[in-house]
Structure formats: structure tokens, C-alpha cells
Amino acid sequence: MAAVLADRLDDCPVVDLAVRLAAARAAPLLLIAVLPPPQPHAVAPRPDGAAVRAVLGRVMPRVVRAGIAHRPAVYVRPAGRGGRLGAAKGLLDVAVGHGCSTLVVSRSGPPELDAGTVMEAAAVRGGPLVHAAPTARWVPLVPASSAT
């Protein structure tokens, strides 16, 4: 089971669904942090590096509370245009490389990594199974009655 996290508000619903599915299957959870394309001559990010920890920071309290075994992974978006399904195929390669047969992806994920595109790439590739997590609901910080 893998959760695809892109440092967005939608990461919380993605992890919530992934935790429920992992708990039901008694499976560990792979937390795939999606990072932007690297700068020229940049060192490849490590799964235990600061950039990955920053992406996972929003969801770790939920994972720890659930008591699900987990491990981080990293997917660096390609710098060039690899076709409409290129980024999604690379993401699927990372998940399958870690032994995951199921991914949870946000419906409104980053361009080329939304659930619809990842599902299409998985269908072309012949797997893995992709679940679409709902988008995060926007809630105002200040209740409407106290705003003046």
C-alpha cells in the first residue's frame, strides 16, 4: 500500500484513505514524497533527507496515531516533458519497485500526477491498482459570524 504525497492540503485525505486500506489489510504503508524537478547539478534526494521529511511532516501525526508500519520513498518529477503519462509512469515504477500493488492518489494531484492520469497509466501498464482520494475541503480560518 502506498500513499502519494505532494506537499499539498490534499495529502491529508490521501493518507487517511491509505491508512484505512492498510489497516484493513494489515499491510505496511509506503509514503511516496513527490518532489519538484531537480536543479542542474543537484544531488539526488534521499528518502530520509530533509526535503522528504518536509513533505511528510503534514501527515506523520496521522500515520503515527494509526500505528501503521511505514517507510518513506521519494519520487522526483522529471524535468522535461515525458508525454502526458510520463510522470505517472515514473511514479508507478517507484511504487512497484518498493513492492506496492496499490496506490492512493489525490483526485486533484499535481499536474500529470492526479488520480485520473495515474489510473490511466496503471491501466496501460497493467497495474498497480490506484484509489482516488477526495480533495481536501476548504474551511475558513475565521468563522463567518465573527468576521466584520
Cα–Cα distance, 7 to 68 (Å, whole number): 20
Neighbours of 138 (CB within 10 A): 6
Cα–Cα distance, 127 to 130 (Å, whole number): 8
Q: What pLDDT score does 116 carry?
A: 94
Q: What pLDDT score does 110 carry?
A: 84
Q: What pLDDT score does 139 carry?
A: 66
Q: What pLDDT score does 44 carry?
A: 80
For 54-109, what is each residue's pLDDT tens digit? 999 989 999 999 999 999 999 998 887 777 799 999 999 999 999 999 999 999 88
